[in-house]
C-alpha cells in the first residue's frame, strides 16, 4: 500500500512538473512570437520610411507619420550597434586583441548613444521652433518626425558600414580612418535631415489643407479630394523627394535651416565628447572616454593635416 501511495505521489509530482514545464514553454513560445512580430513590424515601418510609403500625402492624413514609436527605437539601436561593429574592425586588424575587443564593444554601444543623446538635446528646440513659425504639428508629431529621421540616418549609416569595415582591414592609416568616418557620419546626417525637411513639407501640405476642427463628413470628403489631387504627383516619389503642391514659407525654411545647423553642431560635439570610436594603433591601453580638450572641428582640421602629411 505504501509503495502504491509513493508511486501515486511520484506520478502526481511528475504530472505537476510536466504541466509547469508545458506552461513555461508556452509562455516562452508566446514571448518569442511576440518579439518576432514586434521586430517584423519595426522593420516594416523602416522599409515604408525608406521607400517613402509612410510619408506619402495620403498616409499623413492624421497629421503625423504612422509608425510604431515604441518598436522603431530598437531597430535604430540595432543599426547603430552594427555600424559600431564595423568601426571596431580597424582596432581588430591593427591593435592588441584585448584592446580591440574592448574598443569594438565600446563603439557598438556609443554609436546609438550618440544619436539618441543628440536627439534628446535638440528635440525641445525643434518643438519650440515649430511653434514659433505657427506650425500645427503637435508634440507627438514632432517626436515621430524626429524618430523617423533618426531611423533613416542610422539605416544609411549601417548600409555604409561594410565600406568602413573594408577600409578598416585594408589600411593602417589612423587619420584616414577618422576622416572616413566623419564623412560617413556627415553623409548619413545630411540625408536624414533632408528626409526630415521633405517630410515636414508634406506634413505642412496636409495640415494647412486640413481644417483645425472638421465638423462634418462633407468637410472630410473635401479634404480627401484635395489630398488625392496632391497625391497624384506624389505616388512615384521617394522619401527624399519634395512635393510641389505647396512650398515652405521663407521664414519656415530659415528657422528649420538654423535648427538643422544646431543639430549638426550638437551631434559633432557629442561625438567628440564620446570619443574614441576608433582605437589608435599606437595606444597601449584601452580608453573608454578621452580627456576633455579642444573641440570636434579643430580636431578634424588637425587630423586632415596629419592625413596629408602636413603635421
> What's the Cα-to-Cα distance from 149 to each of 155, 162, 260, rounded to whole Å?
10, 22, 12
- The whole-number pLDDT of residue 212 equals 46
Total count of residues recorded for the chain = 311
> Is 199 domain-assigned?
yes
pLDDT bracket for residue 24 (50, 70, 90): low
Determine the angle formed by the axes of helices 72-94 and 97-132, rounding to 10 degrees: 140
Domain containing 267: what range?
A: 52-307
pLDDT band at 51 (very low <50, low <70, confident <90, very high): confident
- 26 located within any domain: no
User: For residues 160 and 171, what is the distance between their CA atoms, to the nearest angstrom?
Assistant: 17
Lowest-pLDDT range, 116-130, 146-160, 235-249?
235-249
In a domain, 68, yes or no: yes
Q: What is the mean pLDDT of residues 191-201?
A: 87
Report the domain count for the chain.
1
Q: Is residue 146 part of a domain?
A: yes
Q: Is residue 18 a part of any domain in this protein?
A: no
Tell me if 4 is assigned to some domain: no
The answer to whether residue 90 sits within a structural domain is yes
Amino acid at each position: 500500500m505504501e509503495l502504491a501511495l509513493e508511486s501515486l505521489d511520484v506520478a502526481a509530482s511528475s504530472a505537476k512538473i510536466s504541466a509547469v514545464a508545458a506552461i513555461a514553454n508556452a509562455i516562452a513560445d508566446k514571448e518569442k512570437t511576440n518579439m518576432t512580430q514586434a521586430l517584423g513590424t519595426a522593420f516594416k515601418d523602416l522599409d515604408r520610411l525608406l521607400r517613402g510609403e509612410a510619408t506619402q500625402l495620403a498616409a499623413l492624413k492624421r497629421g503625423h507619420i504612422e509608425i510604431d514609436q515604441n518598436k522603431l527605437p530598437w531597430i535604430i539601436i540595432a543599426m547603430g550597434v552594427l555600424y559600431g561593429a564595423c568601426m571596431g574592425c580597424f582596432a581588430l586588424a591593427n591593435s592588441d586583441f584585448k584592446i580591440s575587443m574592448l574598443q569594438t564593444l565600446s563603439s557598438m554601444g556609443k554609436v546609438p548613444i550618440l544619436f539618441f543623446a543628440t536627439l534628446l538635446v535638440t528635440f525641445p528646440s525643434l518643438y519650440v521652433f515649430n511653434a514659433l513659425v505657427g506650425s500645427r504639428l503637435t508634440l507627438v508629431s514632432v517626436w515621430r518626425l524626429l524618430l523617423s529621421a533618426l531611423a533613416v540616418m542610422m539605416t544609411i549609416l549601417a548600409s555604409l558600414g561594410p565600406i568602413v569595415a573594408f577600409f578598416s582591414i585594408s589600411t593602417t592609416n589612423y587619420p584616414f580612418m577618422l576622416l572616413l568616418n566623419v564623412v560617413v557620419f556627415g553623409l548619413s546626417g545630411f540625408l536624414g535631415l533632408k528626409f526630415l525637411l521633405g517630410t515636414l513639407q508634406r506634413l505642412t501640405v496636409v495640415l494647412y489643407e486640413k481644417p483645425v476642427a472638421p465638423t462634418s463628413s462633407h468637410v472630410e470628403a473635401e479634404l480627401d479630394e484635395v489630398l488625392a489631387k496632391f497625391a497624384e504627383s506624389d505616388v512615384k516619389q521617394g522619401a527624399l523627394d519634395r512635393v510641389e503642391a505647396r512650398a515652405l514659407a521663407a521664414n519656415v525654411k530659415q528657422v528649420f535651416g538654423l535648427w538643422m545647423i544646431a543639430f549638426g553642431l550638437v551631434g559633432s560635439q557629442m561625438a567628440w565628447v564620446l570619443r574614441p570610436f576608433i582605437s589608435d594603433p599606437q595606444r597601449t591601453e584601452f580608453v573608454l572616454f578621452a580627456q576633455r580638450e579642444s573641440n570636434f572641428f579643430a580636431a578634424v582640421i588637425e587630423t586632415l593635416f596629419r592625413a596629408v602629411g602636413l603635421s
